[in-house]
């Protein structure tokens, strides 16, 4: 029997999880996502990716500013829900849920986290997996009041290429881990609902933490370690992107890196956009210098 599922999610990782669940016949009774926000150069009010996905797939959703128990008891007037949800699933929601909400569903609240916890807790686990060259993976955990702190239900690592030049960019790895996490969630779901799964506490002494990515993180020193620069290029796609500063025509200009690769242990630039110019090959840029 498919449980009455509430889904919390906001970004493209959450969209990929939702997409896989729908493809497997698991349709949340409602989706809770964050409100529209001002973003982009034009500073326009923009819906989160999950809202756009819900509209395209006729999924009931709400966008509360703050999450309260009442949102789970009556998530949406369009959604006929006579009893409380059996289970809540969180995938990259972006807001902290209060304990009263976490504990409200009959079987609690699970989270798909895109790292092998307790490594890389916090807002940027995938980027930090790429930056450090760690083994990618996902964790299904029971949520508690602390960030990425709850007991582990199941984990699965992704096979990592031994060829450094074949490491994944953030969008590629994000989508692969979302699918892996959704698969693992559906795999453990029957036993979890039947009470056959025993959660395991995390080793909190081994926990590592990530910080929110900023625009400044994308600045590269082209004389730094080539592998470090390559991994930053992969991790910071599409935002904040990577760039460097160079001196040209008597002033410092910002040069955005559009395409690059690793070859013979060297970080090779393929194309760039100099400040105030259009995209050009790295060779053309160097000739202009």
Query: CA distances (Å), 46 to each of 37, 50, 242, in order?
Result: 5, 12, 24
The predicted pLDDT at position 82 comes to: 45
Phi and psi angles of residue 134, each rounded to the nearest 5 degrees, phi first: -75, 165
Cβ burial of 232 (10 Å; 0-12, 13-18, 19+) is buried
Question: Does residue 221 share a domain with residue 118?
Answer: no
The predicted pLDDT at position 76 comes to: 59
- The answer, yes or no, to whether residue 183 has pLDDT greater than 50, is yes
Residue 251 CB neighbours (<10 A): 7
Question: Does residue 153 share a domain with residue 66?
Answer: yes
Residue 26 · residue 20 · CB < 8 Å: no
CATH number at residue 22: 3.40.50.170
The predicted pLDDT at position 65 comes to: 84
Q: Which of these, 4, 53, 9, lies nearest to 26 by C-alpha position?
A: 4
**pLDDT tens for each residue of 113-164:** 999 999 999 999 999 999 999 999 999 999 998 899 999 999 999 988 888 8
The owner of tokens 């030049």 is: 165
Question: Does residue 64 share a domain with residue 160?
Answer: yes
Reduced to 3 states (helix: H, G, I; strand: E, B; else coil), residue 281 is strand
Residues forming a β-bridge with 242? 257
Structure tokens that stand for 158 in this block: 């992704």
**pLDDT tens for each residue of 220-263:** 999 999 999 999 999 999 999 999 999 877 788 999 999 999 99
The residue among 172, 206, 240 that closes a domain is 206
Q: Quote the domain boundaries for residue 134.
A: 5-206
What total of structural domains would you count in the chain?
2
Question: Does residue 261 share a domain with residue 201?
Answer: no
Question: Does residue 118 share a domain with residue 185?
Answer: yes
Average pLDDT on 49-62 reads 96
CATH number at residue 231: 3.10.25.10
pTM of the entire structure? 0.93
The residue among 189, 206, 223 that closes a domain is 206
Residue 131 · residue 220 · CB < 8 Å: no
Question: Does residue 52 share a domain with residue 107?
Answer: yes
Question: Does residue 72 share a domain with residue 36?
Answer: yes
Distance CA 270, CA 109 (A): 45
Percent of the chain at pLDDT exceeding 70? 94
The residue among 174, 206, 238 that closes a domain is 206
**pLDDT tens for each residue of 34-54:** 999 887 777 789 999 999 999
Kindly indicate the confidence band of residue 186, based on its pLDDT and cuts at 50, 70 and 90. very high
């Amino acid at each position: 029997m498919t449980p009455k599922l509430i889904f919390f999610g906001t970004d493209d990782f959450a969209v990929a999880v939702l997409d896989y669940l729908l493809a497997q016949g698991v349709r949340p009774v409602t989706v809770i996502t964050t409100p529209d926000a001002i973003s982009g150069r034009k500073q326009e009010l923009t819906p989160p990716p999950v809202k756009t996905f819900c509209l395209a797939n006729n999924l009931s959703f709400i966008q509360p500013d703050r999450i309260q128990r009442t949102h789970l008891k009556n998530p949406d007037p369009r959604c006929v829900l006579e009893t409380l949800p059996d289970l809540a699933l969180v995938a990259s929601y972006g807001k902290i849920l209060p304990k009263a909400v976490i504990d409200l569903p009959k079987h609690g609240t699970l989270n798909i986290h895109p790292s092998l916890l307790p490594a890389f807790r916090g807002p940027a686990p995938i980027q930090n997996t790429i930056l450090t060259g760690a083994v990618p993976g996902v964790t299904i955990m029971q949520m508690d009041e602390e960030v990425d702190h709850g007991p582990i239900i199941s984990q699965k690592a992704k096979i990592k290429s031994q060829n450094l030049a074949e490491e994944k960019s953030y969008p590629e790895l994000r989508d692969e881990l979302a699918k892996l996490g959704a698969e693992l969630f559906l795999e453990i779901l029957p036993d979890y609902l039947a009470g056959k799964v025993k959660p395991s506490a995390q080793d909190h002494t081994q926990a590592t933490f990530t910080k929110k990515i900023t625009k400044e993180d994308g600045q590269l020193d082209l004389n730094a370690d080539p592998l470090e620069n390559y991994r930053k290029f992969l991790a910071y796609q599409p935002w904040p992107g990577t760039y460097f500063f160079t001196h040209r025509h008597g002033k410092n200009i910002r040069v955005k890196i559009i395409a690059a690769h690793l070859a013979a242990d060297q970080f090779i630039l393929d194309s760039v956009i100099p400040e105030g110019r259009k995209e050009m090959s790295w060779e053309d840029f160097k000739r202009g210098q």
